[in-house]
Structure 1
Amino acid sequence: MTSRDAATADHAAARDAPPRSLVWARRLAVPALLLAAANLRPAVTSLGPVLEEARAGLGMSAPVAGLLTSMPAACFALVGFAAPPLARRHGPDPVVLLGMVVLTAGLALRPLAGNAGAFLALSTLALAGIALVNVLMPVVVKERFPERVGAMTGAYAMALNVGASTAAAVTVPLADRFGDWRVGVGAWALLAGVAVLPWLALTRAGTAPASPSEPAEAPAVAPRLTRNPTAWALAVYFGLQATAAYVVIGWLPQVFRDAGISAEAAGLLFALTSVLGIPLSFALGAVVGRLRGGQGGIAVALGFFGLAGYAGLWAAPATAPWLWAGLLGVSNCAFPLALTMIALRGRDGGIVVRLSAFAQGMGYLLSIPGPLLVGVLYDLDGGWRLPLAFLMVLVVPQMVAGALAGRRRQIG
């Protein structure tokens, strides 16, 4: 090769190489994604362990406390529908940044509330920020890591479980250390503030992929998700797994405490349900996108784990509490599975952002009555057998919907 040929080859390689700013942005997107995910549950899981103290300090009645357990699903559903139009107009990165800023503000301000109404309002603010990020995370994964959707969704879900379990386990020691439940709840604003920084850098750099409203090969007519059976299967599956997750978040510690287990041990058992999701979510994400037969079989298998966990709590909650919590922790991997299926079923980023909003929005709407109904059944029964039987019944349609949603079909 002559010196001229070598120079020509070097020039072509430099021309074809991605700009340095895009390489930098791709590297920064990984910690940005993981930090955002780690902040999507502490607003919820930090409150349960100190709910009794919060109720006493705020003068919060039992019905208002029950409303508080259903608020996450309601906010995620209603505010989540706003994410697609905002993303089309501004791009995903600025909307994720907005969500993280709103979350940080809500977490920082709600410990300062002097009454139950103000606490609910500021909790709603924090949850609204989470809702925006919830919907757009599958889009960020699809667009920034198109060849690693399963693996990055698994990493995202793993970080989410790290945040959830850490908040569940650390909030009480923090509150005890400083002698105030407000410190334990408010400390998580610091973590959210840290997550703002990489999203601010990505937004200012303007290195996001093409807007999801402008895919390279847009279909002539956008698919109507309300008429698509796969979209509805995803929504039902997402809603039923969310119902189970928020019942676990809101009521599982009380199930163990009613069985004679100490409050501290009940908190650790609850944390176990999230801790197990850390390695399992990563492992699941690494293999789920490669399955030739789709993901339906995994959805059904996870449902059987849930059935076994509920059955153990129904029959003998104090006999093997770590086993029952572990089974429910495995079953909770339905959440990262649902996110992965949303990303895989959409043909491009534009479809994924709409499908994510539809499946999560309709799913969270479907999940709103669950925790409230469990509380009503608990009052009627005077114990947990009737509520747990109800949860076992719900697992069956969840498995059916998961089997349908997991078929290898694309929308768009």
Structure 2
Amino acid sequence: MMALMPREETQTTTQATPRSPDPRRAGEPPTTRAWTLRFVVVGLVLAALNLRPAITSLGALLEEVRVGLGMSGTVAGVLTSVPPLCFAAFGVMAPKLARRFGPAAVVCAGMAAIAAGLAIRPFAGGTPGFLAASALALMGIAVSNILMPVIVKRWFPDRVATMTGLYSMALSLGTSLAAAATVPLTSALGGKWQTGLGLWALVAAAAVLPWLPLVRERRTAGGGATESAVTEGAVTEGAVTESADKSARAQDARAQDARAQAKGGLALPITRSRTAWALAGFFGLQATGAYITMGWMPQIFRDAGVPASTAGVLLAVTMAMGVPLAFVIPRVAGRLRNQGPIAVVLGSCGLIGYAGLFLAPAAGAWVWAVVLGVSNCSFPLALTMVGMRAGTGAGVAKLSAFAQSTGYLLSIPGPLLVGVLYQHSGGWGLPIALMAGLMLPQIALGILAGRNRTVEAELADRAGAGSKAAA
């Protein structure tokens, strides 16, 4: 299958993309060779495998790290808040870096940063060094996370959903594998948590290799993407469904985007859109739940008497639910005019899971792991709604930048607050109540964000109403 994919993609790209004297100006992908596309596919899969192990491997060994470094519950809460903070802070750098150096070069550097951070942090010699090395790895994750959809759009413009599904599956696989394997590997290699965490640097180092020839190919093929292409590509993740006439749709989207750019984009700033704010809030709350789960769920099970190795496997089960649902949810959402009901179903699963953790964390551990895994699939739903709540590529780019950056900022306090409540209450009752309470506004905002409207139309209506009022 992997051998066939590049040949199919080359044919599709040639048919859908007319030749242009200046591919960079037209926003078209460069002329490709079969070996280049093979490197892209391998690079995407290996990069996706490394986008979450830095987080879930730490969650599996959080108790050992806390004891080894002398961390309090509050400091551990700070540690679990670092991922969304880094994603918000460093993710905004990705488009400018890609414009200057090319997306492949930035992803290659991102994989190197992940490898270096994961190799350094277990042996940094204290909490400040551990946090700094974690931030280095998370910086690499942040820019790579943004630019992987750009790579998909650039090299596979008519197979966006298929390739997005491929690397989304790899991302979920890496997430669950790190959660399940870290504790057993640590035990097998002598029981030191430093070894268990440092092992994942080897996987990240392997992910650097397929990107090296792509950096060279970028130089010979004619440079990197423009900033508009980068920002547009970065938000198509999971938001496109396959159709019979992919080439015509791609050409129509480019023409529609050109008209929107000529008209100056949105009628008003994106911050004037209620839909944009609802989507940003939904994105932030689902991210809050995801990072609380990755950082704290193994500890909840361990405190309930579940063995450490089993707690890691339970987190892996939760993360693995994203493998099939990353394919299913965007396609179901794309066929509905209103995605609010999906947000209700996913939020209800979260409420059931948190109720189970409160009432019978050990007895029903496997059930709660599964239903919380379903709830965490609000992430592909949020990305799908980003693509559906804007009518043009320019609008999607602005909506995505606003929703994701604002959402990640909103998600920062959640894991920290869980750590504070855990330390000062001496148990998990209050933290779990907080988690469940956050599901209610998430459901409400999902209903608002899922309504069948676009930010362009919404802002045009507001602009028209304002003009009439002024007249």
TM-score normalised over the length of structure 2: 0.76
What SS does the aligned partner of 2:427 have? coil
- Deviations for 1:267-293, whole angstroms, at most 9, x for unmatched residues? 2212210122222223334x2464141
1:274 paired to 2:319:
yes
C-alpha displacement of 1:135? 2.3
Q: Which residue number in structure 1 is paired with residue 185 of structure 2?
A: 174
In structure 2, give the amino acid aligned to 1:194: A
Query: Which of the numbers 136, 155, 165 marks the counterpart of 1:125?
Result: 136
User: Is the 2:343–2:446 Cα contact (8 Å) retained in structure 1?
Assistant: yes
- Deviations for 1:213-244, whole angstroms, at most 9, x for unmatched residues? 26851343243332333332222111101111
- Deviations for 1:276-335, whole angstroms, at most 9, x for unmatched residues? 2222223334x2464141433322211111111111112222231111111001111112
Q: Which residue number in structure 1 is paired with residue 469 of structure 2?
A: none
What SS does the aligned partner of 2:61 have? helix
Q: Which residue number in structure 1 is paired with residue 163 of structure 2?
A: 152
Q: Which residue number in structure 2 is paired with residue 3 of structure 1?
A: none
Query: Which of the numbers 147, 156, 163 marks the counterpart of 1:136?
Result: 147
1:310 paired to 2:354:
yes
Query: Which of the numbers 192, 213, 232 marks the counterpart of 2:277?
Result: 232
Distance 1:364 1:347 in 2: 24
What SS does the aligned partner of 1:261 have? coil
User: Is the 1:77–1:365 Cα contact (8 Å) retained in structure 2?
Assistant: yes
- 1:38/1:230 CA distance change after superposition, 3 Å: farther
In structure 2, give the amino acid aligned to 1:111: P
Residue-pair matches, total: 399
Q: Which residue number in structure 1 is paired with residue 228 of structure 2?
A: 213
In structure 2, give the amino acid aligned to 1:164: T
Q: Which residue number in structure 2 is paired with residue 367 of structure 1?
A: 411
1:391 paired to 2:435:
yes
Q: Which residue number in structure 1 is paired with residue 77 of structure 2?
A: 66
Query: Which of the numbers 169, 189, 202 marks the counterpart of 1:190?
Result: 202
Q: Which residue number in structure 2 is paired with residue 55 of structure 1?
A: 66
What SS does the aligned partner of 1:79 have? helix
Superposition RMSD in Å: 2.9
In structure 1, give the amino acid aligned to 2:214: L
User: Is the 1:135–1:360 Cα contact (8 Å) retained in structure 2?
Assistant: no
What SS does the aligned partner of 2:228 have? coil
Counting aligned pairs with the same residue, the percent is: 56
Write the mapping of 1:275-354 to structure 2, written as runs, cut at 5 A. 275-285=320-330, 287-288=331-332, 290-345=334-389, 352-354=396-398
Q: Which residue number in structure 1 is paired with residue 10 of structure 2?
A: none
Q: Which residue number in structure 1 is paired with residue 246 of structure 2?
A: none
C-alpha displacement of 1:409? 4.4
Q: Which residue number in structure 1 is paired with residue 87 of structure 2?
A: 76
- 1:150/1:263 CA distance change after superposition, 3 Å: same
Distance 1:249 1:372 in 2: 13
Structure 1 gap segments, 5+ residues each:
1-11
Q: Which residue number in structure 2 is paired with residue 241 of structure 1?
A: 286
In structure 2, give the amino acid aligned to 1:234: L
C-alpha displacement of 1:185? 0.7
Structure 2 gap segments, 5+ residues each:
1-13, 20-28, 233-253, 457-471
In structure 2, give the amino acid aligned to 1:309: G
Distance 1:314 1:148 in 2: 43
